A and B are shown apart, each in its own frame.
Chain A
């Protein structure tokens, strides 16, 4: 018991004295970004409790309230702060629920691609030879197609092969798979590069001399030393995954309009742009840009903090 308390106190002290916190204290922009990020994540997690209404609940929607403008424009209603869409759904609630879907897909896809990419990168870097050549060729090809195009192609193939109904039913899983599969080369390359640097070091030779199996050396010895670039990459990749999901949804290869993400909200609102209700599409868009921008800025800052030698131009 006392051991646990002491260890948690040590963890706290280590965190308090860390380089990370020191850099955070000295960077106003990073503080603002982190605060906003925490705020958005909290509201996304707590959406069912804090959203003004449930956009999926037909009993709470009134068609009489359709296309109300946001609060700063004449004709708005205080009950709907950011206005309503064409079906009378509260836009603030729709955005929160949509962001929930987008963020879930973003994190899910990054989890998949990091596990896949890290495993393949470790394998390629440690084994070398034909495995390495084959995997890296594949990564090259995939990257030359660009990850977004890759995601669109996979999405199109899946939709063409299984039909729209199937796609709609399992769209969250399909999107996570698509984005995860199209972006793994990013991780594989990063991990492979650090594995190539690590495996020449003495501690790996020592482990090999001790007769440990390669899996154990890769997993217990090399992997922990490649974690910091993986972590930095992950922030940017979450932003990329959210953007990719929005693009796919906008093309009709993503979330259906019955369970909209930010991208499908933008897509369904686009039809009402011409009738003057710009907020239905541009406000979710603004939210998307803010979210992605915050994550990107945090990623930039994290990269500079974790690796002071690397300096962006």
Chain B
């Protein structure tokens, strides 16, 4: 246990070191700050003085140490665009992202568990066949396309004119297949203030409406992976002796499936959830772009467009830290759920 934590700590330090070097490199790579401050008319002597006072004639490693020291004190400098500390900007944008991720995680869980279990216990059913077929297609659909299709269907609406509109039944069929649309698909609406920088979408019906389409598209993209995994694991578990024994004892099928079998199915789901956290962040970036959801991902992309270096660096550090923490937590959780795994080896 201690060994595992030590190993993880080393890895975390290594990751953060690499990220900080990258951050340092891009922060330094942007133009010449001396010329920017003094303008073209400055004399050589003035430039030298300023360069010295800014510490720019120090060796690179001294400059890096200064940068790392600031970073350790949570000081990434001021954002060029917002004119306030970079971390503060990120803290302001983070709740929106976290709410989006939380909502889609809940949706994914609520949808994938029943689907996966159903597909495993009724493999010949037409619904399971359809679901498994859709999951194959779903893996090949990029998240921004899912989001756009959802926008087209539920926000813009579909006007069907396939049937002849002059006859009564044609008009009726057109009406039947047309979809009104009208769901909000842009931004967050007016989230309600909770505390500090946290404004929530969960507290009002209107907020939930704004949240629905982005969360749904994120969930629909994660769904195929989880359905397939739960399905595969469930098939395996149903063949084990303890499930057969439970059947022989005459327990109710629902109890066997959802209590006995599902419990051991959830183990790999937790691992997959941990492994997928990076993918989830990337998908969240894409979803936020489509829906203009004012979260940390959208802020990061805007910062790149504006070459707002302190913000870019701060975001990279925050995301890196998030990954390291979540990966460690998932490994610990895995151990708690499955006592057979020892963490001292390469169990992770």
The yes or no answer to A188 lying at the interface (CB within 8 A) is: no
Tell yes or no: B275 within 8 A of A by CB: yes
The answer to the question of A313 belonging to the interface, with a C-beta cut-off of 8 Å to chain B, is yes
Interface presence of A99 (CB below 8 A): no
Q: A140 vs B275: C-alpha distance in the bound complex, in angstroms?
A: 11
Interface size on B, as a range, is 35 or more
Chain B positions 290-309 with a Cβ under 8 Å from a chain A Cβ = 290, 300-301, 304-305, 307, 309
Interface of B is mostly: helix
Which residues of B lie under 8 Å from residue A137 when comparing CB positions? 11, 14
Q: A250 interface residue, CB < 8 Å from B?
A: yes
- Could you tell me if A270 and B290 are in contact, using CB atoms closer than 8 angstroms? yes
Query: Hey, what's the 0/1 contact readout for A259-301 against B, CB within 8 Å counting as 1?
Result: 0000000100010011010100110010011001100110000
Residues of A within 8 A of B (CB): 74, 137, 140-141, 143-146, 148-150, 152-153, 156-157, 159-161, 163-164, 239, 243, 246-247, 250-253, 266, 270, 273-274, 276, 278, 281-282, 285, 288-289, 292-293, 296-297, 312-313
B102 on the A face (CB < 8 A): no
Q: Is the CB of B136 within 8 A of A297?
A: yes
- CB of A159 within 8 A of CB of B304, answer yes
**A250 and B144: CB pair below 8 A?**
yes
Contact assessment for A313 and B235 in the assembled complex, using a CB-CB cutoff below 8 Å: yes
Q: Tell me the minimal C-beta distance from B85 to chain A in angstroms.
A: 19
Interface membership of B173, Cβ < 8 A: no
- Please provide the chain B residues from 129 to 145 with a CB less than 8 Å away from any CB of chain A in the complex: 136-137, 139-145
A-B contact pairs, 5 of them (CB 8 A): A143-B275, A145-B278, A156-B304, A251-B289, A288-B145
Q: Which residues of B contact A247 (CB under 8 A)?
A: 142-144, 282, 286
In B145-197, which residues have CB < 8 Å from any A CB?
Answer: 145, 148-149, 151-152, 156, 161
Which residue of chain A has its CB nearest to the CB of B158?
A278
Q: From A144, A243, A270, A296, give the contact of B323 (CB < 8 A).
A: A144
A313 adjacent to B278 (CB under 8 Å):
no
Q: How far is it, in angstroms, between the C-alpha of A174 and the C-alpha of B290 when the chains are bound?
A: 24
| C-alpha gap A273/B291 in the complex (Å) | 12
Closest CB in chain B relative to A243 CB, distance in Å: 6
Q: How far is the CB of B269 from chain A (nearest CB, A)?
A: 14
* A146 and B278 form a contact (CB under 8 A): yes
CB closest chain-B residue, reference A151: B282
- B113 near A: Cβ within 8 Å? no
- In the docked arrangement, what's the CA distance between A159 and B303, Å? 11
